[in-house]
Amino acid sequence: MQAVAIDFGIEKALEELGVKNINEGTSTGSQSFSNGDIIESFSPVDGQLIAKVKSTRKEDYERVMEAATSAFKIWRSTPAPQRGEIVRQFGEKLREKKEALGKLVSYEMGKSYQEGLGEVQEMIDICDFAVGLSRQLHGLTMHSERPGHRMYEQYHPLGVVGIISAFNFPVAVWSWNTALAWVCGDVCVWKPSEKAPLCGVACQNLAAEVFAANNLPEGISCLINGDYRVGEFMTKDTRVPLISATGSTRMGKIVAQEVAARLGKSLLELGGNNAIIVTPDADIKMTVIGAVFGAVGTCGQRCTSTRRLIIHDSIYDKVKQAIVDAYKQLRIGNPLDQHNHVGPLIDKDAVAMYEAALEKVVAEGGKILVEGGVLSGEGYESGCYVKPAIAEAQPEFEIVQHETFAPVLYLLKYSGDVENAIEIQNGVAQGLSSAIMTNNLREAERFLSVAGSDCGIANVNIGTSGAEIGGAFGGEKETGGGRESGSDAWKVYMRRQTNTINYTTELPLAQGIKFDL
């Protein structure tokens, strides 16, 4: 069988992105500040070694921070609309390289090519959003209680923003943070997942081209590679006022403690245990589409993936059969082949976790409806391809209470009113995404009310997966409480300052206090 790189143009894509035959990582543009241990990037698609990068040592990190802090002094004084113009150019660069970057995302991470293209499109969209935002970084004007005074508040850039991203969205989440941080006047230091380092190198190369064309310092965008120890360089560094971290709840708690210990700011996007409620008034066809894509998209490795399907007992059997039938139509295989629906898990550790989850649900008394398992043979040589599984379970099962980062869907049953379903949905530690399938207006509004879903995202008649750039993205409880992307998420990348101006020749004091000299 021919290699995927030949069949699907991966070698050409790598060359176009400047990441072919890499044996050392870049830190700021074309400069190489990484001289540590080698990180090998293997594709879960075919198990092939794509390339190698060098990890960042402490002394390398110090040079990165020197470049970043120096660049900040220039970047912060650049007018925001001009910063927006640079982001616009970066968005155009992404449009030019969309196909190549989408292929790299698909090949290095394992998601379908269409999802890889979709991820790059999210990068383009957030650039468009940020360009408009660059002319709207507004404050407030308010009345002073003192005559002849004016009060207002404004926002200033923070400085160096540290970004720690996860493997499942190896480029989009970085761009959500970076595009906004850039127009706000910040510079960024990014540690991508060590499971997808080449996507980071590719993005860094594209950004460096834009900065070079505009005679701007490369330190506006910096890259460091390595495991959690490299991330600790930033979390403990007082020169990094904000850490934006995406990953597991366990990781987020460690980051939060480290950053809080130095009174820094953290933006956390952590685990999700997302549910769709299916009421008697649901459109079954829409429910199946939303649930299946939510459960198997990205092989169940989205933070917004559907983990639980909470179905009313009056339609439980009908919905169950429809979902089971839909799973029979799924095609599992090379994600660069657009005929396939499901690609591989990221690595064999993820496969082991998937197998353990299926064993656990059975041990707790659950029933497997669609059998899982690891696929082998031609086309599955990497050992990372698994069959999406469905299990009947109870809400109180321990395995159901935790996030299973794999294509395992748990079917749960509820009876009575929608309040009972909402209680089940909210009865987990995570609070990222949620959805209800219903044509009953009262049920929909109840779900969206103050006593309804406790998640950061609550949808009606669409699934849990997928989010638009215009809205703030994030969740509550053990999801971390952070917000990225649209709405007013930009404010977290800036510091707020209140200003009072006295334009008289006298100095009246607040609250009528007299202090005569």
pLDDT in tens, 479-500: 999 999 999 999 999 999 999 9
* Residue 138, phi then psi, degrees to nearest 5: -90, 155
Tell me how far apart the alpha carbons of residues 297 and 169 are, in angstroms, rounded to a whole number: 12
Residue type, 362: V
Q: Dump pLDDT digits (tens) for 288-320.
A: 999 999 999 999 999 999 999 999 999 999 999
The CATH architecture one would assign to domain 274-468 is: 3-Layer(aba) Sandwich (3.40)
Q: Are 455 and 475 in contact (CB under 8 A)?
A: yes
pLDDT more than 90, % of the chain: 91
| Largest distance between two CA atoms of the chain | 91
Per-residue pLDDT, averaged over 161-169, amounts to 98
Pick the catalytic residue: 115, 269, 478, 484? 269
Q: Are 411 and 369 in contact (CB under 8 A)?
A: yes
Name the packing angle between helices 249-261 and 228-235 (round to 10°).
30
The answer, yes or no, to whether residue 28 has pLDDT greater than 80, is no
Which pTM value belongs to this model? Answer: 0.95
The answer, yes or no, to whether residue 181 has pLDDT greater than 60, is yes
- pLDDT at position 348: 97
Report the chain's mean pLDDT, rounded to a whole number: 94
| Radius of gyration of the chain measured on its C-alpha atoms | 25
Q: Report the range of poorest mean pLDDT among 4-13, 283-292, 335-344, 488-497.
A: 4-13
| Nearest-5° Cα angle at 203, 201 to 208 | 95
Per-residue pLDDT, averaged over 214-219, amounts to 96
Residue 383: which of 104, 7, 47 has the closest Cα?
47
- 208-216 contacts, C-beta under 8 A, 24 or more apart: 208/26, 208/28, 208/29, 208/30, 209/93, 210/86, 210/89, 210/90, 210/93, 211/29, 211/86, 212/29, 213/89, 214/86, 214/89, 216/71, 216/74, 216/75, 216/86
Per-residue pLDDT, averaged over 224-247, amounts to 97
Supply 353's token pair.
Answer: 């976790």
- pLDDT at position 517: 67
- pLDDT at position 22: 60
Residue type, 351: V
- pLDDT at position 4: 41
Per-residue pLDDT, averaged over 366-379, amounts to 97
Q: Please report which confidence band the pLDDT of residue 473 belongs to, taking 50, 70 and 90 as the band edges.
A: very high
- pLDDT at position 19: 86
Tell me how far apart the alpha carbons of residues 51 and 97 are, in angstroms, rounded to a whole number: 19
- pLDDT at position 23: 54
Q: Dump pLDDT digits (tens) for 376-427.
A: 999 999 999 999 999 999 999 999 999 999 999 999 999 999 999 999 999 9
- 389-395 contacts, C-beta under 8 A, 24 or more apart: 389/358, 390/323, 390/324, 390/327, 391/358, 391/361, 391/362, 391/366, 391/367, 392/320, 392/366, 392/367, 393/361, 393/364, 393/366, 394/364, 394/365, 394/366, 395/308, 395/424, 395/427
Going from N- to C-terminal start, the domains of the chain cover 4-270+480-496, 274-468
Give Cα separations from 466 to 60, 306, 336, 341 (angstroms): 37, 11, 20, 16
Per-residue pLDDT, averaged over 112-117, amounts to 96
Q: Dump pLDDT digits (tens) for 93-103.
A: 999 999 999 99
Q: Report the range of poorest mean pLDDT among 32-41, 132-141, 178-187.
A: 32-41
Pick the catalytic residue: 188, 303, 384, 455? 303
Between residues 506 and 83, the one the model is more confident about: 83
CATH class belonging to 4-270+480-496: alpha beta
- pLDDT at position 33: 59
- pLDDT at position 25: 44
**Same CATH topology for 4-270+480-496 and 274-468?**
no
Q: Are strands 242-246 and 265-269 parallel, antiparallel or unpaired?
A: parallel
Supply 306's token pair.
Answer: 């559907």
The answer, yes or no, to whether residue 1 has pLDDT greater than 50, is no
Burial of 4 (C-beta count, 10 Å sphere; 0-12/13-18/19+): buried
- pLDDT at position 71: 98
Name the packing angle between helices 441-448 and 418-426 (round to 10°).
30
Helix (H, G, I), strand (E, B) or coil at 190: strand
Q: What burial letters (b/e) apply to 65-78, b meaning 16+ CB within 10 Å?
A: bebbbebbeebbeb
- pLDDT at position 5: 41
Give Cα separations from 43 to 4, 23, 148, 306 (angstroms): 10, 16, 66, 25
Tell me how far apart the alpha carbons of residues 219 and 273 are, in angstroms, rounded to a whole number: 37
Length of the chain as a residue count = 517
269 flagged as catalytic: yes
